[in-house]
A and B are shown apart, each in its own frame.
Chain A
Amino acid sequence: MTFGYILSICTFASIYAILILGLNILTGYTKQVSLGHAAFFAIGAYAQALLVTKAGLTFWSALPLSIVLSMAIGIVMGLPSLRVSDDFLVLTTIGLNFIVMGITEYFDFFGGAMGIIGINVPSFMGHPLGTTGYFVVTLIFLMLAIYISYFFSKTWGRLAMEATGEDEQAAQALGINTALYKIYAFALSSAFTGLAGALWAHSIGSLFPRNFSFEMSVLFLSMLVFGGLGTIRGAIFGAFFLYLLPECFRFIESYRMLVYGALLTVIVILQPNGMLGRGGLLDGCFFKLKKRGTETQGISKMG
């Protein structure tokens, strides 16, 4: 059986699902379209890698620190969103990819072009985790992320973020400090993304700046939009589907990405609200966390 392979693919897909859940808070709820999540991902991964390799922490003790660190940097990176809006923000987030890549590549503290090597396999109660063990760990974190997302989707915070995303002036007139909520969204989103990055770093074992490219950010946004912006089930579905899709096309080997790109285009055109978004092809096929109408779907203008 190809157990290890499937587990390994699913580990990565779960990691991406955690990330997309984070992106959903920022882009799905707060409507701050981000094409820079590979940068946030890199920050989580690098934070964890540095803590583990340079500071000598274990996986478990480094993880909370990485998340907090990602969150803190996420807040700083979110500051432009207070001044810049709409498409300008999209472009700014694109810039984050290149800036973070440039910085990790050009400062030896971050390993520079030689990358960071030897991020050890985490162990649990003294035993190193194998493929299966690590998959279970990722899965647990994914469950946790889903739970937190679900819980968050019922809070005032989410309502305030959605209001901020829809119309800032109207939101302010109702007592919502829109700047604060954008920052909250960046913080939460980068915390999720940082967690995903940290998990990713351990499953690869080494990091290179070019692993976190702009193309990856495009993939992340595609995953979210493909699944259904603003929905938890859509985020998870999109991450798994779009990550596994190219794997399914292995048999056509070098035509794989051609088909993938074309399929992505066709599906987004046919299903602009996402497969699981409102009116999506699979809307209603999967169990919904809430009854129809209370969970809102992403069909608004950008930004």
Chain B
Amino acid sequence: MLLQTEEKRNGNPRNIEDGVILSLRGVKKHFGGLKAVDGVDMTLNKTEILGLIGPNGAGKTTLLNTISGLLMPDGGEITFRGISITSLPAFKRAKLGIARTFQIAKPFGLLTVEENILIGLGCKLHGHISSLFQNCRKQEILQKARDIINMIGLYDCKDQPASSLPIGLLRKLEIGRALAANPSLLLLDEPAAGLNNQERNELAGLVRTIREEGISIILIEHSMSFVMNLSDRIVVLHRGRKIAEGSPSDVANDPLVIEVYLGTKGGKYAS
């Protein structure tokens, strides 16, 4: 079964060299004896939305962490816009233009919504010694922050501490904060978890808008309707390995994916 998929994948190599923004080659991450990510090859094109799915514990979040730099891969190579970022720390990758959200939302709870966004806006400046002297509340900066707050629809609570927001708004705040960092690649880890359908639809709209701004997106989701509708392409992970890749419908029909992930009712996503 596994073999079959390998063949199939190798059989249809996608030739997208010029448009590639991110490529992973043989990325590995081990925790003790556990191979959380075990040699994953993957590419991402400009302005593409790539869905990343797989069973619980497949290594999706871990893979995302190695891309954003919160974890250093134990092997393999990661290239972002032609630069090898394999051994760069997270904050440098963020400056290069990789932004992310977290599966368990990590707002700066004591800071207000506006300040959360400001921190994102300061992405390029953070770390310079001059950051200790420069005022972050200049008019034009506040204006930028306000634009982003409007875009994610949090204007009403911009002066509230982030910890007082409910999950749904927190996820939007996280996306806003990531956008403020002016990324060219956005990594979203289960942004729709804990949202209801209406909120999911709004979120899907937001994700599309972001893509239209020219930002590429990797999207991890367990909500099939969400990820199938949004993604241009889907990669399936299982036990740290890539077991399938292709268009949403291809993946949804893949028997291996149905067996390990979608379950018997998986077929209904195939359309």
From B89, B102, B134, A155 is in contact (CB under 8 Å) with B134
Q: Does B210 contact A (CB under 8 A)?
A: no
> What residues of chain B lie closer than 8 Å to A298, measured between beta carbons?
110
Q: Quick one: given A154-B135, A155-B133, A156-B122, are A174 and B99 in contact (CB under 8 Å)? A: yes
Q: Are B132 and A175 in contact (CB under 8 A)?
A: no
From B127, B132, B161, A296 is in contact (CB under 8 Å) with B161
Expressed in whole angstroms, the minimum distance between the Cβ of B238 and any Cβ of chain A is 26
From B68, B106, B107, B132, A157 is in contact (CB under 8 Å) with B132
Q: Does B51 contact A (CB under 8 A)?
A: no
Q: Does B8 contact A (CB under 8 A)?
A: no
Q: Are A156 and B91 in contact (CB under 8 A)?
A: no
> What residues of chain A lie closer than 8 Å to B181, measured between beta carbons?
174-175
Interface residue ranges of A279-294 to B (CB < 8 Å):
292-294
Q: Are B94 and A175 in contact (CB under 8 A)?
A: yes
Q: Are B95 and A175 in contact (CB under 8 A)?
A: yes
> What residues of chain B lie closer than 8 Å to A177, measured between beta carbons?
89, 91, 126-127
Q: Are B159 and A294 in contact (CB under 8 A)?
A: yes
Q: Does B240 contact A (CB under 8 A)?
A: no
Q: Does A192 contact B (CB under 8 A)?
A: no
| Tally of contact residues, B, Cβ under 8 A | 43
Q: Are A156 and B111 in contact (CB under 8 A)?
A: no
Q: Are B122 and A296 in contact (CB under 8 A)?
A: no
Closest Cβ neighbor of B69 among chain A residues: A172
Q: Does B177 contact A (CB under 8 A)?
A: yes
Q: Are B136 and A154 in contact (CB under 8 A)?
A: yes
A54 to B210, alpha carbons, bound, how many Å? 65
Closest Cβ neighbor of A292 among chain B residues: B159
Interface residue ranges of B115-142 to A (CB < 8 Å):
115, 118-120, 122-127, 131-137
Q: Quick one: given A160-B119, A175-B181, are A300 and B91 in contact (CB under 8 Å)? A: no
> What residues of chain A lie closer than 8 Å to B124, measured between beta carbons?
175
Closest Cβ neighbor of A162 among chain B residues: B111
A171 to B100, alpha carbons, bound, how many Å? 11
From A163, A297, A299, B108 is in contact (CB under 8 Å) with A163
* Chain B 182-197 interface 0/1 with A at a Cβ cutoff of 8 Å (1 = within): 0000000000000000
* Chain B 74-96 interface 0/1 with A at a Cβ cutoff of 8 Å (1 = within): 00000000000000011110110
Residue among A163, A174, A180, A184 with the highest chain B CB neighbour number at 10 A: A174
Q: Are B126 and A167 in contact (CB under 8 A)?
A: no
Q: Are A167 and B108 in contact (CB under 8 A)?
A: yes
Q: Does B5 contact A (CB under 8 A)?
A: no
Q: Does A105 contact B (CB under 8 A)?
A: no
A298 to B163, alpha carbons, bound, how many Å? 13
Q: Quick one: given A163-B108, A294-B112, are A174 and B132 in contact (CB under 8 Å)? A: no
Q: Does B70 contact A (CB under 8 A)?
A: yes
Expressed in whole angstroms, the minimum distance between the Cβ of A185 and any Cβ of chain B is 10
Q: Does A262 contact B (CB under 8 A)?
A: no
Q: Are A174 and B126 in contact (CB under 8 A)?
A: yes
Q: Are A172 and B90 in contact (CB under 8 A)?
A: yes
Q: Does B109 contact A (CB under 8 A)?
A: yes
A230 to B161, alpha carbons, bound, how many Å? 14
Interface residue ranges of A254-279 to B (CB < 8 Å):
none
Q: Does B160 contact A (CB under 8 A)?
A: yes
Q: Are B123 and A174 in contact (CB under 8 A)?
A: yes
Expressed in whole angstroms, the minimum distance between the Cβ of A70 and any Cβ of chain B is 17
Interface residue ranges of A216-255 to B (CB < 8 Å):
230
> What residues of chain B lie closer than 8 Å to A167, measured between beta carbons?
106-108
Q: Are A159 and B94 in contact (CB under 8 A)?
A: no
* Chain A 170-195 interface 0/1 with B at a Cβ cutoff of 8 Å (1 = within): 11111111101100100010000000
Q: Are B91 and A176 in contact (CB under 8 A)?
A: yes
A192 to B268, alpha carbons, bound, how many Å? 65
Q: Which residues of A contact B (CB under 8 A)?
A: 152, 154-157, 159-160, 162-163, 166-167, 169-178, 180-181, 184, 188, 230, 292-294, 296-300
Q: List 28 A-B contacts (CB under 8 A).
A: A154-B135, A154-B136, A154-B137, A155-B134, A156-B122, A156-B131, A159-B111, A159-B122, A163-B119, A167-B107, A169-B90, A170-B102, A171-B108, A173-B90, A173-B94, A173-B100, A174-B91, A175-B122, A175-B126, A176-B119, A176-B127, A177-B126, A292-B159, A293-B159, A294-B159, A296-B111, A296-B161, A300-B109
- Cβ-closest 8 pairs across A and B: A175-B123, A157-B132, A175-B94, A172-B90, A170-B106, A293-B159, A156-B131, A177-B127
Apart from A155-B133, A175-B126, what are 4 other A-B pairs with CB-CB below 8 Å?
A174-B123, A175-B92, A293-B161, A296-B112
